[in-house]
Amino acid sequence: MELFSSLTDFLNTGGNVLWVIFFVSFWLWCVIFERYWFFYREYQPLRKRNIDIWQARADKSSWFAEQHRRQLLSELDCQMLRHLKLIPALIALLPMLGLLGTVTGMIQVFEVMAYLGSGNPRAMANGVSAATIPTMAGMVISLLAIPFATELDRRYKRELRTAAAEMPTYH
Q: Confidence class of residue 171 from pLDDT cuts 50, 70 and 90?
A: low
Q: How many residues does the chain have?
A: 171
**Model pLDDT for residues 78-97, shown as the tens digit of each residue:** 999 999 999 999 999 999 99
Any idea of the CA torsion for 48, 50, 55, 57, to the nearest 10 degrees? 160
DSSP 35-76: HHHIIIIIHHHHHHHHHHHHHH-S--SSHHHHHHHHHHHHHH
pLDDT at 132: 87
Backbone angles phi, psi at 59, to 5 degrees: -90, 120
Residue type, 55: Q
Are 86 and 53 in contact, with CB atoms under 8 Å apart? no
- pLDDT of 156 strictly over 90: yes
**Model pLDDT for residues 103-145, shown as the tens digit of each residue:** 888 887 787 777 777 666 776 777 777 788 899 999 999 999 9
* More confident: 57 or 6: 57
Q: Confidence class of residue 161 from pLDDT cuts 50, 70 and 90?
A: very high
pLDDT at 165: 95
pLDDT at 39: 96
Q: Confidence class of residue 42 from pLDDT cuts 50, 70 and 90?
A: very high
